Amino acid sequence: MKVFASTVKFTTITLLATSLLGFSCGNSNAKKTTDSTAATKTEATPAPSFSKLLSEKEFNELFPQRDKFYTYAAFIKAADELAKIKVQVTRRAVSVYQFIRTDKSTGKATTVRQDADWNEAWAKQKPDSTYMVDYGAFCTAGDATTNKRELAAFFAQIAHETRHGQNETYTDGLMLIHEANTSLNYISDNDEYPPVAGQKYYGRGPIQLSYNGNYGYASDCIFGDKKILLNNPGLVETDPVVAFKTAIYFWMTPETRKPSAHDVMTGKWQPSATDKAKGRTPGFGMTILIVNGELECNKGENNYSMKDRIGFYQFFLKKLGVTDPNCACSCGKMEPYKY
């Protein structure tokens, strides 16, 4: 929770509890099965540096009051390194998962998670749901305008999550490294990603990653090893490259019921009949629903936090030299997803 100059209180993504990355919690009745064998090999696909899309001068102008922790160099390194990774997520039944993580620079694909019930007959009877998360598509999947809109949306979300200054100036993003109250543990029951004794999983980094389940899932995708962030969640507030990676990871990775913010901003996601009935439409407002829908969406047009995110988006669009004239920017009439 953060308090700003106006004394308005904001509840960040840290309060989403287990709803954040709902599918990351795994099967509550399953035991972990480790399978670190290489799955396949694919050709390496080198990508240009993200620095070609955003200069240091532009970054500095977007975040003039940022904490010195959040450097341009760290952001570029995070984007470039994570661009080498893609993860195939397959789900059987409701919550039985297999993750195959590929390092595109070497072509090596490794199974980093396979739940104990994966090969059970009852699980195999259920249709598999498979999708690929290619982190190299971050702000690069569309034309120049689409990519800049996506970057503006990403920056708007992380700026709001980390702002600490004067309201409606939109220059005070990337100021907070962790949430104000670090006494809370943010621990939940999770067989796949159990908490480590003595560690706290409060909100850290640009997207305020929280809860052991989300730290473990992020660690599997980013490092190919859940233990790295479960054992040391403090890396997200001491290593700026890791911090930015967690934000990009969250932006790119769908949840059980929610699309990824990336898919929304690039037009890949299209609402189902159920989504339409609940007011969910493509646009920046849908990314607010993904990030903090339970607290900010379906509450009309005067929710301050929602309006602040929209203000940041419009500010960054202008700074990046693009517009979004048909933006469905509000989530005021969008019904949040239920778990």
Would residue 202 be called left, alpha or beta, if left means φ above 0 and alpha means ψ between -120 and 50 degrees?
beta
How confident is the model at residue 201, as a pLDDT?
A: 97
Examine residue 74 and state whether it is found in any structural domain, yes or no.
yes
Examine residue 332 and state whether it is found in any structural domain, yes or no.
no
| pLDDT tens figures, 167-212 | 999 999 999 999 999 998 899 999 999 999 999 999 999 999 999 9
The amino acid at residue 127 is: P
CA proximity to 277, closest of 333, 339, 332:
333
**Contact status, residue 66 vs residue 163, Cβ threshold 8 Å:** no
Examine residue 327 and state whether it is found in any structural domain, yes or no.
no
Would residue 290 be called left, alpha or beta, if left means φ above 0 and alpha means ψ between -120 and 50 degrees?
alpha
Backbone angles phi, psi at 56, to 5 degrees: -65, -40
Q: Is the pLDDT of residue 4 over 70?
A: no
How confident is the model at residue 46, as a pLDDT?
A: 61
pLDDT band at 31 (very low <50, low <70, confident <90, very high): very low
Q: Is the pLDDT of residue 50 over 50?
A: yes
Structure tokens at 47: 């990508």
How confident is the model at residue 39, as a pLDDT?
A: 43
Q: DSSP per residue over 143-155, as a string?
A: -HHHHHHHHHHHH
Scan for tokens 């890396």, then name that residue.
235
Examine residue 338 and state whether it is found in any structural domain, yes or no.
no
Structural domain harbouring 75: 2-320
How confident is the model at residue 16, as a pLDDT?
A: 37
Examine residue 53 and state whether it is found in any structural domain, yes or no.
yes
The catalytically annotated residue of 150, 161, 192, 237 is 161
| pLDDT tens figures, 223-268 | 999 999 999 999 999 999 999 999 999 999 998 789 999 999 999 9
The amino acid at residue 188 is: S
Give the pLDDT mean for 98-105. 97
- For residue 260, the SS3 value is coil
What is the domain count for the chain? 1
Tell me the pLDDT of the chain averaged across its residues. 88
| More confident position, 38 or 200 | 200
Examine residue 331 and state whether it is found in any structural domain, yes or no.
no
Give the pLDDT mean for 50-68. 97
Examine residue 328 and state whether it is found in any structural domain, yes or no.
no
Whether 56 is catalytic: no
Examine residue 125 and state whether it is found in any structural domain, yes or no.
yes
CA proximity to 42, closest of 85, 92, 89, 95:
85
How confident is the model at residue 153, as a pLDDT?
A: 98
CATH of the domain at 43: 1.10.530.10
Structure tokens at 97: 């998962």
- For residue 102, the SS3 value is strand
